[in-house]
Amino acid sequence: MKIFSRLIVVLVASCFCSGLPFVAQGQQVQPAPVRPLLAQTTVSPSVAHPLTIGGGSGGVESPALKSLTAIETGHKLREKKEFDAALRAYQDAVRLQPEDAGAWFYLGRGYVDLDRFEEARFSFKRSILVAPEDPANWFGLCLAHYLLEDYESAIGTCKEAVRLDPEQADGWAWMGLAYTRQRQWDKAIQCLERATALGTKNSQAWYTLGIGYARQGQRTKVLRVYRRLQELDPEQASKFFDAAVSPQTRI
């Protein structure tokens, strides 16, 4: 299989030198399914639980401790893909500690898991009200805006996320994807290049950057993206080969 993969790369490289037509300027990027992309997103609150948690008198747990326990329960349920139960746990956490930004963040993420994007947007806004200096909360809101196809708002909130944390790869990635939805390719490529340089594992970001390079005729960079996609997401790599690489072999 490795030998076969290397042969493909050699064939592609030779085709790049042939001067055959490249991907059309009108090539559109189809968005990837949401759930796999969410699994590739690693942003979490900088200080998830800033509260000082102490046991109550008489062995009674404090609301803060109960909220923390509910969040941990939500995480475990989410890992098992029991998203409805995880959401209920996060709702309990918010009810117990409505001033905990981390609880609101995880509640928003729980709503995203269930495609309840408006409720996710509300939750992330609440997390920002509690902790406006935490870039994760702004990223969460960016994600909700993007999923609701409000790309202008997504760009604005992602800008705030990366202003607060310039090293946040996912923020740059989703901002770049939002720019492509608006067909602002120059800005999109700048953001996606920053995301990939910071090591994002968002395969759609890599795929979209590769399409941007293809539109520019930057064949060497297209091949580099193809190799990276083979490592990150073979299914996306196959789609990318068909969309941006395979046209080189057509006469």
Ordered by start, the domain boundaries in the chain are: 202-251
- Rounded CA-CA distance 129/75 in Å is 23
- Rounded CA-CA distance 59/118 in Å is 39
Supply the DSSP string of 61-83, one letter for each residue: PPHHHHHHHHHHHHHHHHHTT-H
Question: In sequence order, what are the residues at sequence separation of 6 or more whose Cβ sits closer than 8 angstroms to the Cβ of residue 210?
Answer: 221, 222, 225, 226, 229, 240, 244
In this structure, are residues 19 and 147 in contact, taking their beta carbons and an 8 Å threshold? no
What are the angstrom distances between the C-alpha of 236 and each of 29, 178, 192, 201? 12, 19, 16, 12
What one-character DSSP code corresponds to residue 170? H
- Rounded CA-CA distance 66/165 in Å is 31
What sign for the dihedral angle of Cα 46, 189, 20, 15? negative
Q: Residue 57's pLDDT is what?
A: 47
Which amino acid is present at 84?
D
Q: Residue 245's pLDDT is what?
A: 85
pLDDT in tens, the chain (251 residues): 444 344 344 334 433 333 333 444 445 565 555 556 666 677 778 754 444 444 444 445 789 999 999 999 999 999 999 999 999 999 999 999 999 999 999 999 999 999 999 999 999 999 999 999 999 999 999 999 999 999 999 999 999 999 999 999 999 999 999 999 999 999 999 999 999 999 999 999 999 999 999 999 999 999 999 999 999 999 999 999 998 887 654 43
Q: Nearest CA to 181 among 207, 199, 213, 155?
A: 155
Q: Which three-class secondary structure state does DSSP give residue 25?
A: coil
In this structure, are residues 69 and 47 in contact, taking their beta carbons and an 8 Å threshold? no
- Rounded CA-CA distance 232/82 in Å is 25
Task: State pTM to two decimals.
Answer: 0.80
> Helix crossing, 117-130 with 101-113: angle to 10°?
170
Q: Nearest CA to 94 among 59, 61, 130?
A: 130
In this structure, are residues 171 and 157 in contact, taking their beta carbons and an 8 Å threshold? no
